[in-house]
Amino acid sequence: MDYREFFSRFRYLSERPGIGGRIKVFPEDFVVVEEPLPQIFEGGKHAVFLLKKRNWETMAAVKEIAKRAEIRHSDIGFAGTKDRHAVTYQYISVPARAREKVEGVQIRDIELRFVSYGKFIKLGYLVGNRFRIIVRDVNGEAFERTREIVGELREKGGFPNYFGYQRFGERRVTNHLIGKLLLQGDFEGAARLFLGAHEGEMEGDEARRRFWETGDVDRALEEFPNFLRYERAMLHRYKETGSWKRAFLGLPLPIMRIFIHSYQSYLFNLYISRRIEEGLPLNEALVGDIVVQVKGGIPYRDRTYRVTETNVDFVNEKIRKNQAMVSGPLFGFAMRRARGLPGRLEGEILEGEGLSPEDFKRLPKQMAEPGGRRELLIRPLGLTYGYVPGQGMCLRFFLPKGVYATSVLREIMKDH
């Protein structure tokens, strides 16, 4: 199953036909510019650089820069990962002593410019990202269709805030399934899927297929390519311990947590889709909803309050003024749960999966997930669009951190 088939289960909010087309035909068609927190420029222990990269994954770029500058890649800080098949601008920090070496680094399709001294940049140290995106292979009706879709969604409060396909795996859409197996305590099943899921076209897929069919760990270690380093590390760990649980726990923490976060994202997407399907509004709070506070167009997901019969009119006035947004569940053991109709829907989704909030606490300590809330709608700031002859539709907008440009494009293109 590819990501298009996977996403076909989630409802569109707009009812008008999309423009179709293709994105990321060329890296220059997808430009991302990071807007960092101003605090990263305070202090003097680290040198802050603006990193421009083309066709590089963030982590791969960081490791190559570290190698050339002769520093540890863990000494390089960055606020978030960016698309690979794109041209992206983001800030990185390196130890101040390494400034000159980093300035001297020359890597194809990577540019580094010293900006100032500041602090170590941690994940999440950003406000959001600005996008300039070209949608190619569209016809002359694209502008008018885009105008109609954007107008319809403005009336409905915004674009549905689905997690994008990057969260689940573009080629092997399995991350969420592995997360569910881990929540169910089936570490062997999760390992089998992580190691054995294949599409049959890429290097290593034949070895994955054989492991899926045989479960032969020794043969897998002989056949799995070296670039499958996490898979090989898991196989070695299993040989040492005889435990698939310990094999999973031997992976780096960010890798382990990807699977649980992916499953949370799947359930969140399912919640939005079910709410659309049942005709429950995304831009109007119902009694029992949990809403998040909004300031300057940026949602503060840690500032939530419950909607009651006595405050529902007040809350909906806040929503109309873009000072609050209705939220959906990122399921976890400490998540603030909705009540009323929204709460019933949350409960039905978990029950349909055969899970309870406590299951997120029964995970090994490293994976236990408290959960949280996330706004149901995307309200792109400064959205503009136009048809460029010979190229296609060009869209520009700003999104807060953690929000996916591909989910904005999905409603406009209707391609998956």
Catalytic residue list: 83
Crossing angle of helices 175-183 and 187-196, in 10° steps, is 170
Tell me the C-alpha to C-alpha distance, in Å, between residue 189 and each of 28, 164, 184, 195, 314: 40, 25, 10, 10, 49
Task: Give the DSSP letter string of 87-127.
Answer: EEEEEEEEEGGGHHHHHT--BTTEEEEEEEEE-PPPTT-EE
> How far apart are the C-alpha atoms of 187 and 101, rounded to whole Å?
44
- The residues near 188 (Cβ < 8 Å, ≥ 6 apart) are 244
Provide the greatest CA pair distance for the chain: 66
- The residues near 129 (Cβ < 8 Å, ≥ 6 apart) are 32, 33, 34, 35, 82, 398, 399, 401, 405
The rounded radius of gyration (Å) of the Cα atoms in the chain is 22
The helix (run of H) or strand (run of E) holding residue 392 is strand 392-400
CA nearest 116: which of 62, 58, 40?
40
The amino acid that residue 245 corresponds to is: K
